[in-house]
Chains A and B, each alone.
Chain A
Amino acid sequence: MIHSTKKTSIAAISIIAAILIIFFISLNTGTIPIGPADVIKTLLGTGDGSYDVILFDFRLPRMVIALLIGIGMGIAGAILQGVSQNGLADPGILGINAGAGFAVVLYIFFLQDQLAGSGNLQVFIMPIFAFAGAFLAAGLVYTLAWKKGITPVRLILVGIGINAAFGGLIIVFQLMMEPKDFTQATVWLNGSIWQTSWNYVLALLPWIVLLVPFAMYKAKALNVLTLGDQLATGVGAPVQKERTLLLLTAVGLAGACVSVGGAITFLGLVAPHLARRIVGPNHKHQLPICALIGALIMLVADTLSRTLLAPSEIPIGLVVSAIGAPYFIYLLIKE
Chain B
Amino acid sequence: MQARRLLGTIILIAGTLLLIFSIGLSIIYGVSDISLSTVWNSIFHYDATNTSHQIIQRLRLPRAVAAVLIGAMLAASGAIMQGMTRNPLASPQIMGVTSGATFMIAIALVFLPGLSNVHLLFFAFAGAGLGLGLVFGVGLLARTGLTPVKLALAGTAITALLGSFSNTMAIHFDVARDLSFWYAGGVANVQWDTVKLLFPAAVIGMILALFISGSVTTLSLGEDVATGLGLKTGAVKVAGVLVVLILTGAAISVGGTIGFVGLVIPHITRFIVGPDYRWIIPCSAILGGILLNFADILSRMVNPPFETPVGALTALIGVPFFIYLARREGKNI
Cα A157 to Cα B312 with chains together (Å): 19
Contact B177 A318 (CB under 8 A): no
Known interface pairs A157-B325, A171-B309; 19 further A-B residue pairs with C-beta atoms within 8 A, sorted by A's residue number: A88-B152, A154-B326, A158-B326, A161-B319, A164-B322, A168-B314, A168-B315, A172-B309, A176-B306, A183-B171, A186-B180, A190-B167, A315-B167, A322-B165, A325-B158, A326-B161, A332-B150, A332-B153, A333-B142
Contacts of B150 in A (CB 8 A): 332
Residues of A contacting B325 in the complex (Cβ-Cβ under 8 angstroms): 157
Residues on B facing A (Cβ under 8 Å): 89, 138, 141-143, 149-150, 152-154, 156-158, 160-161, 163-165, 167-168, 170-172, 174, 176-177, 180-181, 183-184, 259-260, 306, 308-309, 311-316, 318-319, 322-323, 325-327, 330-331, 333
Q: Kindly state the interface size class of chain A when it binds its partner.
A: 35 or more
| B154, A314: Cβ atoms closer than 8 Å | no
Does the CB pair A172–B308 fall under 8 Å? yes
CB-CB nearest in chain A for B333: A157
State whether the Cβ of A321 lies closer than 8 Å to any Cβ in chain B: yes
Interface-centre pick from A88, A162, A172, A315 (highest chain B CB count, 10 A): A172
A223-244 vs B, CB cutoff 8 Å, 1 = contact: the mask equals: 0000000000000000000000
Q: Of residues A145, A309, A322, A325, which shows the largest number of chain B Cβ atoms within 10 Å of its Cβ? A: A325
A-B contact pairs, 29 of them (CB 8 A): A87-B149, A88-B152, A144-B323, A145-B327, A151-B330, A153-B330, A157-B322, A162-B323, A167-B315, A168-B259, A168-B315, A171-B180, A172-B308, A175-B180, A175-B309, A179-B177, A182-B176, A190-B167, A314-B168, A315-B167, A315-B171, A318-B168, A322-B164, A325-B158, A328-B153, A329-B157, A332-B153, A332-B157, A335-B143
Residues of chain A at the chain B interface (Cβ within 8 Å): 87-88, 144-145, 147, 151, 153-154, 157-158, 160-162, 164-165, 167-169, 171-172, 174-176, 179, 182-183, 186-187, 190, 265-266, 269, 309, 312, 314-315, 317-319, 321-322, 324-326, 328-329, 332-335
Determine if A186 and B170 form an interchain contact, defined as CB atoms under 8 angstroms apart: yes
Q: Judge whether B171 and A174 touch: CB under 8 Å.
A: no
Number of A-B residue pairs with CB-CB distance less than 8 Å in the complex they form: 142
Given A147-B327, A182-B176, also A321-B161 (CB < 8 A): yes
Shortest distance from the beta carbon of A36 to any chain B beta carbon, whole Å: 29
Contacts of B183 in A (CB 8 A): 171
Q: Does A164 contact B260, Cβ atoms closer than 8 Å?
A: yes
A164-B315, A175-B181, A175-B184 in contact; A322/B259 too (CB < 8 A)?
no
In the bound assembly, the distance between CA atoms of A182 and B174 in angstroms comes to: 11
Expressed in whole angstroms, the Cα–Cα distance for A164 and B333 within the complex equals 17
CB nearest neighbor in B for A179: B177
Query: In whole Å, how far is B185's beta carbon from the nearest beta carbon of chain A?
Result: 10
Bound together, the chains give a CA A185 to CA B172 distance in angstroms of 14
In the complex, what residue of chain B is closest to A309 when comparing beta carbons? B172
Contacts of A161 in B (CB 8 A): 319, 322-323, 326
For B158, the chain A residues whose CB sits under 8 A away are 325, 329
Cβ B176 vs Cβ A154 within 8 A = no
Set of chain A residues within 8 Å of B333, measured between Cβ atoms:
153, 157
- Do residues A325 and B161 form an inter-chain contact, with CB atoms below 8 A? yes
Q: Which 10 A-B pairs have the closest CB atoms?
A: A168-B315, A168-B312, A325-B161, A321-B164, A157-B326, A318-B164, A165-B319, A321-B160, A161-B322, A153-B330
Q: Would you give the shortest CB distance from B236 to chain A, in whole angstroms? A: 24
A167 touching B161 in the complex, CB below 8 Å, given contacts A154-B327, A172-B309? no
| Bound CA–CA A205/B174 (angstroms) | 34
Residues of A within 8 A of B172 (CB): 309, 312, 314
Minimal Cβ-Cβ distance residue in B for A327:
B157
Cβ A332 vs Cβ B142 within 8 A: yes
Contacts A179-B177, A314-B171; is A88 near B326 (CB within 8 Å)?
no
Q: Which residue of B lies closest to A182 (CB)?
A: B177
